[in-house]
Structure 1
Amino acid sequence: MEDSKKKICFVVQRYGLEVNGGAELQCRLFAEHMLEAGYEVHVITTKAVDYMTWKNEYTEDTETINGVVVHRFATEIERKKKKFDFINRIFLTGLLPKWAEKYWFKAQGPYSPELVEYIKENRNNYDAFIFSTYLYYPTVEGMNYVKDKAIFIPEAHEEPMIYLNALKKVFEMPQAYFFNTDEERVMANKHFDIKNIPYEIGGIGIDKLGDVSAERFKEKYGLDRYYLYVGRIEQAKNCELMFEYFNKYKKDSHDEDIKLVLIGKECMDIPESDDIIKLGFVSDEDKNDAMAGAVALLMPSKFESLSMVVLEAMSLNTPVLVNGECEVLRGHCKKSKGAFYYYSYEEFLHELNYINHNTDDMNHIKKNACEYVENNYSWDAIVRKLSKLINLTIKEK
């Protein structure tokens, strides 16, 4: 095929089978599907696994993962939480001067000048560079050297960092954009002058999950009825409020048997409770089984640019309840007519009561959710849209 000789390179802060994180998983799946479509696919990334520290844990400089060639570079500075929190507090006050923003990005990490130098030296070895995530050093510094070949997947949402002055230059550099949702595109256009830059809207492909068994999960972990949270368990995801709401819900609803099951890395203190079950990392089979068996999936985050786990749950006919303050998640609910959102505890309580006590309505709502995912998130469409942007970028050079 025509695309078989095209050599593309993804640039992302972390990459690997051991890496958790929605943007990183999306990038890996994009790379693997573009490989299947006939491209020669490389990835430039760091040796870090944990975004909290950026500690170098991978030892190989180059390896192949599922057919994708991965080039890894060491981070020069591990992120010191106290130091970064201090710098970040200054930033959040709005008192960080423009000249100091480079220190914020350095502290934010992953700081790897060697990675950026590789991009600079190898710009002619690739037809296109696809940068994932606006928030990190590899994108902010690396895109400078290949802006005429750059496609940008910003993973952006309305948060304080989007107001950094340095990002104006970054967002106006690429030749094309791949947005996860239309809400993300509108938000980016509000902050940056990018209306004349070509774009596609795609998100991610959601594979049909085959061997899924709710009963298998419940039997393995000794569970019956439960709500489910999947993702990093941290304050940045608003998990603290989720715990507060769940505990109040237990008291107000008199639903004595319901549990809250947590799947993902623990990055904050979790309340000690017999009703909150911490499973940590689990296999994909267990995660999918857990979603299939949940009374509802909860997504409390205010800042999401897509949320793959929400779409997966919808595809499994599992009710979803999200934070309405996140425009993207609220958009999934409104466009699908197949999920629920809340702004307050009272609405949280009301929606969960509705999910539990309206069986006939819920069957229709679940059907809407499943059809929404099937119609909007296929891998064929994702590959076609990315290929269009790659071809456009090559012609523009």
Structure 2
Amino acid sequence: MKLAIVVPRLTDEIVGGAELLALWLAQRLLKVGHHVEVLTTCAVDHYTWKNVLPPGLDRIGNVPVRRYPADKRDIGMFAQLEHAIQAQYTLSREEELLWLRNGVVSSALEADLAKRASSYDAILALPYLFGTTYFAYATAPDRTVVIPCLHDEAYARLGVVAEMLGGARGLMFNSAPEAELALRFQRSLAPSTVVGAGFDPPGPTDSELARRLYDLPELFLLYVGRLEGGKNVPLLLENFLRYRERRGTELSLVLLGSGDVKFPAKRGIRQLQIDWRHRDSVYAAATVLCQPSRMESFSIVMMQAWLAERPIIVHAESPVTRGHCEQSNGGLWFSIYPEFEEVLDRLLRSAQLRRTLGRQGREFVLREYSWPAVLSRLETALSSWFERSREPVPALKS
């Protein structure tokens, strides 16, 4: 098949989940013989969306990447509408489209896609939250498969999101709880399936090498990801400091990532930057991984930690991460501090429990999220949706 993947930004240094998924899918689909190119903007920063990369054809490894200038934004208008959405005011369709237009969009990308849409067998657009995704769908609804990466948040309740969930040619979810969530926002979903992201078993890991290179403690709780309030990092910091004070333990918290969350310069908390070639060895050295986010459509770091046979603690209010722990028997969950304390106590008391949960998590990832399993689900869905005879749907007015 000839496929386009539309994503708001993409470089080989961006580590956001949707961007990684877009890049990984492009790489793997190319590897098995499909023709794939990525359509994206010249922006890198997901706060400003300023154009910093040159437009035109680029490559990331073997992946062709077509870059288009992001449109100028009215940041004041965007902020005003953003505030209204967060406050759960009802916006008109015109206001919702105005919010999307002043987020990240590219008129040049849309115009080129309108000209060339018929040359693609399918257009995969992700994630749901950005104008690049909606307007790719609006340009060619009958060829667009949306990979929503949906969260239970105010944006997901917009009318334009329900429209896209119902009108796309197909939907590819990352997990079953995400698919169930979509039904709360649109009762008449487009044809859909659960695909997810794929993973290879890691090569040999060396936890002792990781300890020496990064001066890692013997016992530590690991967090990997953006240090942002939306990822619930402040709650993790609060719970960890309370646990350390109550238990008088030498357990450390290692934060692998960057962001705007400020944390106290207290003993036991450390922010770490690593050579990503050592990522799996750092996972293997960790005692437990904590993924505290309530809003995930899929957690890449959980799968990576399970492949390194590490147990995981997640927030009970995240249907996706808790669901994966329940399916795999690879982790435990908490909602309030006493539960966090009890779960961590259990894991620290029993090395056998940690090993058992870690092994069960690894078996789950290899069974459900190997690349052969993921690509089989994706190809089966595309073949089904695009082999059906169906009258072309005109582009939507935007």
- Please state which band the TM-score falls in when normalised by the shorter chain: over 0.9
CA distance in 1, matches of 2:42, 2:256: 25
Whichever residue aligns with residue 69 of structure 1, its letter is P
> What is the aligned partner in structure 2 of residue 323 from structure 1?
315
Note the 1:1-397 alignment, pairs <5 A.
6-77=1-72, 80=75, 84-98=78-92, 99-107=94-102, 109-195=103-189, 197-224=190-217, 225-255=219-249, 257-280=250-273, 282-396=274-388, 397=390
Whichever residue aligns with residue 35 of structure 1, its letter is L
Shift of 1:43: 0.7
CA distance in 1, matches of 2:248, 2:58: 53
Percentage of matched positions with identical amino acids = 28
Shift of 1:251: 0.4
Shift of 1:104: 2.1
Q: TM-score, normalised by structure 2?
A: 0.93
Shift of 1:85: 4.7
Question: Does structure 1 retain, via aligned residues, the 8 Å contact 2:307–2:362?
Answer: yes
Shift of 1:124: 1.6
Whichever residue aligns with residue 219 of structure 1, its letter is R
Question: Pairwise CA RMSD of aligned residues?
Answer: 1.8
Shift of 1:190: 2.2
> What is the aligned partner in structure 2 of residue 3 from structure 1?
none
Shift of 1:83: 6.7
Question: Does structure 2 retain, via aligned residues, the 8 Å contact 1:314–1:370?
Answer: yes
Number of residue pairs the alignment of both structures matches:
387
Shift of 1:103: 2.6
Deviations 1:156-186 (A, max 9, x none): 0211111111212111122222111111111
Whichever residue aligns with residue 73 of structure 1, its letter is Y
Question: Does structure 1 retain, via aligned residues, the 8 Å contact 2:55–2:69?
Answer: no
Shift of 1:275: 2.0
Cα distance change on mapping 1:240 and 1:34 into 2, 3 Å: same
Question: Does structure 2 retain, via aligned residues, the 8 Å contact 1:204–1:382?
Answer: yes
Structure 1: runs of 5+ lacking an equivalent: 1-5
Whichever residue aligns with residue 334 of structure 1, its letter is E
Deviations 1:281-334 (A, max 9, x none): x33223222211111111111100010110110121111111111100010111
Deviations 1:9-30 (A, max 9, x none): 1111112211120111011101
Whichever residue aligns with residue 223 of structure 1, its letter is L
Secondary structure of 1:252's counterpart equals helix
Whichever residue aligns with residue 306 of structure 1, its letter is F
Structure 2: runs of 5+ lacking an equivalent: 391-398
Whichever residue aligns with residue 287 of structure 2, its letter is V
Whichever residue aligns with residue 183 of structure 2, its letter is N
Q: Which moved more, 1:172-181 or 1:57-66?
A: 57-66
